[in-house]
């Protein structure tokens, strides 16, 4: 409707505008602003280097509550301040908080999670991307960002060995890539049952079922809950002694599925979080094809092995997937997030397509003014592809492959060292870049569990090391889960000597937590 006479108060300006003049350098994207970002960062880094008290280990020593309270205090008072302190002071404060109370992932003894120290080139490129504030949803929200993402997706499709119909999109993380892959699988399966899930929802879909190994990432369960299927839809498939999904068990479960069920997807894992184990992709793909079920490969961790000539064969069969999750903020050394969902057929994205009057009207689309809105659950979407493209151009496939190989070799080194230590028990060998082990005291297993947990917390609380932990059924299926420790080796500048020192620190912490040694000392 046209604008009508409305309350005068609404139409008249409340206050006469003052039109303050602001320097254009306040904005990041202008010529002056880009220079200002560069200068501001240099200043903030200078402060961080000069003023901040860097921890000697990978994190600040102290109990978590104390560290968090100190970080909060360093931010200043509660609440949003009424008046600003200026950019320089604010950046110095934030830089100091991050340095003094944060993690130092580039420290050789930060080996807890699939959270790599990011490459300098990636971080610098990401700052350029932030300054542009381009978005991927429409042509007129960022043409260059669209070109960079399409370039990257094409390169990753080639690396994965997918065919010419393949497509892909960047997402905010592996959990959301898995969610999206499952959403596409869900809607495709519904459509084969004559249900338009996008319009009608899933209530008419008979007994939806998702298969994954019992070691699949918990984000699969979370995605099922979010997508309205419920975690009850997940059917965990047993694994073999090398922690890979059993194709025979999967085939039997599919055969036994009655018509009251709808198999939506098989989710194979290429690189389990704890063990790096890779499900047997060719066999699983054959089963998926036989039953006409969508195959999603969660290669969040493992995909980066494709950069390495030595390790790439472990992912053979990934090219048979209908969709793939990959995280270059894991084996790819990107700051989070740089996650990608690849699909073997671009038509899979139909479930996500939308025509929106203010974004992609038909006549604009026909004239080529189109973006990537129809490949995502997001509208505004940060150009994460820029940092990845910079990294691939800077280091090349070979450079990244060498880093993958180094981290794998570090894991093998840790594995050998652990095997040689009587107090340590190797629980899982180094498939990719993790190694899982347990500190043994000879006490009853529950007590050993406690000590393993304490040992790890002690390393954190003293600021000496940051190692991972997990739970493993040490005595096979059905046996109780036991607390184990884990190294996740993602720092390609770490030396074997530094790794030996880490094992020594673990041993020292174990002894400090173990009554046996304390008695001996007393």
Q: Which 337-396 positions form the footprint of its own copies (CB under 8 A)?
A: 337, 351-352, 354, 356-358, 361, 363-364, 367-370, 377-382, 386-387, 389-396
Nearer to its own copies, 317 or 371 (CB): 371
Q: Which is nearer to its own copies, 288 or 482 (CB)?
A: 482
Are 427 and 377 contacting, i.e. CB atoms less than 8 angstroms apart? no
User: Of the candidates 214, 345, 409, 421, which one interacts with its own copies according to CB under 8 A?
Assistant: 409
**Toward its own copies, which CB reaches closer, 132 or 462?**
132
* DSSP state for residue 116 in the 8-state scheme: P
Q: If you write DSSP's letter for every residue of 266-324 in order, what string do you get?
A: EEEEBS-TTT--B--HHHHHHHHHHHT-EEEEEETTGGGGGG-TTTGGGGTTGGG-SEE
Per CB under 8 A, does 498 bind its own copies? no
Q: β-pairing, 208-213 with 466-473?
A: unpaired
Length of the chain: 522
Asked if 397 is part of the footprint of its own copies (rule: CB under 8 A), the reply reads yes
If binding is defined by CB under 8 A, does position 501 make contact with its own copies? no
User: Is residue 446 a contact point for its own copies (CB under 8 A)?
Assistant: no
Selected binder of its own copies within 236, 238, 445, 453 (CB under 8 A): 453
H helices of 437-495, in order, are 445-461
Q: Which residue, chain included where needed, has tokens 């979080």?
A: 273
Pinpoint the alpha helices (H) of 256-303.
Answer: 281-291
Q: Kindly state the tokens that stand for 46.
A: 């200078």
> Would you count residue 131 as binding its own copies (CB under 8 A)?
yes
Residue from 298, 322, 327, 448 touching its own copies (CB under 8 A): that is: 327
Query: Does 417 sit near its own copies (CB under 8 A)?
Result: no
Measured distance CA(194)–CA(61) in Å, rounded:
59
Residue 250, classed as helix, strand or coil, is: helix
**Minimum separation from the CB atom of position 462 to its own copies (A):** 13
Distance CA 15, CA 235 (A): 63
Pick from 61, 222, 257, 445 the residue near its own copies by CB under 8 A.
Answer: 222
Distance, CA of 168 to CA of 170 (rounded, Å): 7
CB of 290 to its own copies, least distance (A): 27
List C-alpha distances in Å: 207 to 172, 229, 381.
30, 9, 34
Q: Which residue has the tokens 């063990």?
A: 275
> CB of 289: closest distance to its own copies in angstroms?
27
Judge contact between 106 and 491, C-beta under 8 A: yes
- 57, 105, 263, 331: residue in contact with its own copies (rule CB under 8 A): 105
Work out which of 263, 271, 429, 463 binds its own copies, going by CB under 8 A.
429
Residues 6 or more apart whose Cβ sits within 8 Å of residue 359: 137, 138, 371, 373, 379
| Residues between 30 and 69 with contacts to its own copies, criterion CB under 8 A | 30-31, 33-38, 40-42, 44-45, 48-49, 54, 59-60, 63-65, 67-68
Which residue lies nearer to its own copies by CB, 256 or 363? Answer: 363
Half-sphere exposure of residue 165: CA atoms within 13 angstroms, side-chain side:
11
Candidate list 475, 480, 515, 516; residue touching its own copies; CB under 8 A: 475
Q: Does 280 bind its own copies (CB under 8 A)?
A: no
Please say which residue, 42 or 255, places its beta carbon nearer to its own copies: 42
Q: How far is the CB of 489 from its own copies (least distance, A)?
A: 12
- Reading across the β-sheet that carries 434-439, which strands appear in turn? 110-111, 466-473, 481-488, 434-439, 424-428
Per rule CB under 8 A, is residue 144 in the interface with its own copies?
A: yes
List 9, 53, 241, 422, residue binding its own copies (CB under 8 A) = 241
Phi, psi dihedrals of residue 500, rounded to the nearest 5°: -60, -40
Question: 61, 214, 228, 286: which one contacts its own copies (CB under 8 A)?
Answer: 228
| CA distance linking residue 292 with residue 62, whole number of Å | 54
User: What is the C-alpha separation between 98 and 137, in angstroms, rounded?
Assistant: 32
Position among 214, 421, 423, 425 found at the interface with its own copies (CB under 8 A)? 425
Closer CB to its own copies, 320 or 418, in the complex: 418
Residue 267 engages its own copies in binding (rule: CB under 8 A): no
Stretch that binds its own copies, among 90-98, 257-265, 288-296, 508-516 (CB under 8 A): 90-98
Q: Which residue has the tokens 């929802």?
A: 201
Instruction: List the one residue out of 391, 409, 408 whose CA is nearest residue 400.
Output: 391
Task: Check binding of 462 to its own copies (CB under 8 A).
Answer: no
253 or 499: CB nearest its own copies:
499
Q: Please work out the total of residues on this chain that contact its own copies, with binding judged by CB under 8 A.
A: 226
Whichever of 86 and 520 has its CB closer to its own copies, that residue is 86
Stretch that binds its own copies, among 16-24, 251-259, 317-325, 510-518 (CB under 8 A): 16-24
Q: Is 151 in the site for its own copies (CB under 8 A)?
A: yes
- What 3-state DSSP class applies to 488? strand
């Amino acid at each position: 409707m046209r604008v009508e006479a409305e309350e005068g108060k609404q139409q008249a300006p409340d206050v006469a505008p003052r039109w303050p003049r602001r320097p254009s350098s306040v904005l990041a994207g202008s010529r002056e602003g880009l220079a200002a970002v560069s200068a501001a960062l240099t200043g903030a880094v200078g402060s961080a280097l000069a003023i901040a008290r860097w921890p000697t280990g990978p994190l600040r020593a102290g109990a978590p509550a104390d560290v968090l309270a100190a970080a909060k205090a360093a931010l200043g008072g509660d609440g949003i301040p009424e008046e600003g302190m200026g950019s320089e002071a604010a950046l110095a404060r934030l830089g100091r908080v991050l340095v003094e109370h944060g993690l130092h992932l580039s420290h050789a003894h930060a080996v807890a999670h699939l959270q790599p120290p990011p490459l300098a080139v990636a971080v610098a490129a990401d700052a350029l991307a932030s300054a542009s504030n381009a978005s991927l949803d429409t042509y007129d929200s960022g043409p260059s960002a669209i070109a960079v993402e399409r370039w990257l997706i094409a390169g990753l499709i080639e690396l994965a060995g997918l065919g010419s119909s393949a497509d892909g999109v960047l997402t905010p993380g592996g959990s959301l890539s898995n969610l999206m892959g499952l959403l596409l699988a869900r809607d495709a399966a519904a459509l084969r049952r004559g249900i338009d899930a996008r319009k009608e929802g899933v209530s008419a879909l008979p007994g939806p079922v998702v298969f994954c190994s019992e070691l699949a990432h918990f984000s699969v369960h979370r995605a099922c809950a979010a997508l309205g299927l419920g975690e009850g839809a997940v059917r965990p498939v047993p694994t073999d002694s090398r922690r890979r999904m059993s194709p025979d068990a999967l085939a039997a479960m599919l055969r036994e599925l009655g018509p009251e069920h709808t198999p939506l997807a098989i989710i194979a894992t290429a690189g389990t979080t704890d063990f790096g184990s890779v499900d047997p992709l060719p066999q699983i793909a054959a089963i998926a094809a036989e039953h006409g079920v969508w195959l999603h490969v969660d290669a969040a961790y493992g995909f980066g092995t494709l950069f390495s000539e030595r390790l790439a064969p472990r992912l053979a069969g990934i090219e048979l997937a209908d969709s793939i999750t990959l995280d270059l903020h894991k084996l790819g050394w990107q700051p989070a997030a740089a996650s990608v969902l690849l699909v073997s057929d671009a038509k899979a994205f139909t479930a996500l397509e939308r025509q929106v009057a203010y974004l992609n009207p038909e006549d604009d689309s026909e004239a080529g003014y189109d973006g990537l809105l129809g490949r995502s659950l997001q509208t505004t979407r940060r150009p994460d592809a820029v940092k990845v493209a910079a990294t691939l151009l800077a280091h090349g496939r070979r450079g990244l492959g060498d880093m993958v190989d180094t981290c794998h070799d570090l894991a093998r080194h840790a594995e050998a060292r652990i095997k040689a230590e009587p107090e340590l028990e190797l629980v899982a060998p180094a498939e990719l870049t993790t190694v899982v082990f347990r500190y043994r005291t000879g006490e009853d297993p529950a007590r050993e569990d406690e000590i393993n947990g304490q040992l790890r917390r002690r390393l954190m609380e003293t600021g000496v090391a940051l190692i991972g932990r997990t739970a493993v059924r040490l005595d096979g299926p059905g046996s109780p889960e036991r607390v184990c420790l884990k190294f996740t080796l993602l720092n390609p500048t770490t030396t074997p000597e530094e790794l030996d020192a880490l094992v020594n620190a673990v041993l020292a912490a174990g002894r400090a937590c173990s009554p046996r040694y304390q008695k001996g000392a007393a």
